[in-house]
Structures are given as C-alpha cells and as structure tokens.
Amino acid sequence: MEGKLFGDVPMNIELRLSVEDSPNSAGVVIDSIRCTKLALNRGQGGVLYAPSAYFCKHPPHQFTDDEAFQMVERFIKGTRLVLVKDVLCVNKGPELGVSPDFVSESLTQN
C-alpha cells in the first residue's frame, strides 16, 4: 500500500501473511481414517467417492461442499455410492453390492 503522510511524506506498507495450516488438517485426516475404517469393516474396497469428495482437494469426482457433506453423512449411515456409467448412484439394495436396483437421485434431497 502506498500513500502520503502528514507533510507529503511518502509511505509504503508491505504486508505478508503466513499461516501454519497443518495443525488444522489433523481433524480432516482423522475423519478420513474413520471413514476408511468403516469401509474396511463393511468389506468395501476401491475408491470411496463420498469421503474423497468431502475430505480431498482433488477427488475423482468434484461436488459442491453441501453435496459432499450429504454424501459423507450417507456413507456413515451405510448407504453406498457407486459409479454406474459415469454417474454416481445410491444403491438402495440390501446387499450394498452392484445390483440392478440402483436409483440415481439428487444428493440435495434427504
């Protein structure tokens, strides 16, 4: 920022902001590990689309924060999202595996 002070004395202010964000990411890592443990306990493998959409900077599929949050909530409750023809779908079947009863639904609806 440049300006002039009393008596037309030139003024030059330079600011630098430096933050340490690694302590802030500890909670994100812990929640990611918890979701991974849930998936392992359920026998799930491969890409975990919902947790990666919420916790990662560059997930396989990008979603809005609200959609990603709802996806993680559904993942925690046991609703499995799978990729069918490049569309994430909610499997409402009891076996949580690939089955014909996939229903593509809006992630903003509860």
Residue 67 CB burial class (10 angstroms; 0-12, 13-18, ≥19): middle
Q: What is the mean pLDDT of residues 55-68?
A: 87
Backbone angles phi, psi at 2, to 5 degrees: -125, 150
Per-residue tokens: 88 = 């994430």
90 — pLDDT class (breaks 50, 70, 90)? low
Question: Is residue 104 predicted with pLDDT exceeding 50?
Answer: no
How big is the chain by its Cα radius of gyration, in Å?
A: 22
pTM recorded for the entire structure? 0.58
Per-residue tokens: 83 = 């990729």
Please give the pLDDT value at position 101.
Answer: 34
Question: Is residue 82 predicted with pLDDT exceeding 80?
Answer: no
User: When comparing pLDDT for 25 and 90, which is higher?
Assistant: 25
